[in-house]
Amino acid sequence: MMRQVLWSATLMVAVLVLVGCERAGASPPSPAQPSASVPAAPSAPAPAAPADTKAKEPSAVNPTTPKRDWSEIVKTPGAEVATLALGCFWSPEEEFRKVKGVIDTEVGYTGGNTKNPTYKDVCTDTTGHAEALQIVFDPKVITYDEILDLFWQMHDPTQIDRQGPDVGTQYRTAIFTTNDAQQKSAKASKERWQKQFKKPIATEIVKLEVFYPAEEYHQRYWEKRGGGSCKVGH
């Protein structure tokens, strides 16, 4: 009887051990692995567009700026014309257009030997031309002498073949006269204004031969586009 009890107890222990071993050996359910969310790499900023270095060729002309027949404008009854060179012609044209008595303006090239020069031709510094400004004005409102007074104040007439950062004979200072009266007035004005400068005035006073209007995109440039450099490649 005792043997049967011991045999039964031994059998039960064996079963329990076997069950325990099976449970212990069972692989636990794997916990759900959270999907690793890899942050997207920040996109690199788009490279900045290169600066438009060819400043004097705007992509479009302001359509509100009317075309002008300059040959007719210079014939305005009672009007006179002053032709001046004082560096890059953009800024002087803009300033003179604000002056009471100025009827119209035109920028162009004069003083050289090349016929019908382009802006790029002039920028080679081989044509002899200067960037110049023609001003049609009403002498009853503003006189030629007063135009010259503004001329001396708008630039540094003591600089030779340059104005500020713009260097070359095309940026020289000059007064191109159309008659003896203008020639006399220009010389007297230069002598009078010399007293205002410590250095000698470099402005040349010469007779106007031919004035070549600049390309249309240069006319009233600041009115069309605003600002900019005066040299190709800037």
Residue 37: count of CB within 10 angstroms of its CB: 6
Residue 78: count of CB within 10 angstroms of its CB: 8
Residue 194: count of CB within 10 angstroms of its CB: 16
Amino acid at 209: E
Task: Give CA torsion, residues 48, 50, 52, 53, to 10 deg.
Answer: 140
Quick one: tokens of 132? Answer: 């110049």
CB 142 within 8 A of CB 102: yes
CB 131 within 8 A of CB 92: no
The span from the CA of 88 to the CA of 166, in Å, is: 8
88 assigned to active site: yes
Output the CA–CA distances (angstroms, integers) from residue 96 to 31, 163, 202, in the order listed.
84, 18, 22
Q: Which of 55, 36, 2, 6 is nearest to 234 (CA)?
A: 55
In the set 21, 88, 123, 230, the catalytic residue is 88
The span from the CA of 229 to the CA of 35, in Å, is: 58
Residue 165: count of CB within 10 angstroms of its CB: 12
The residues annotated with a catalytic role in the active site are 88
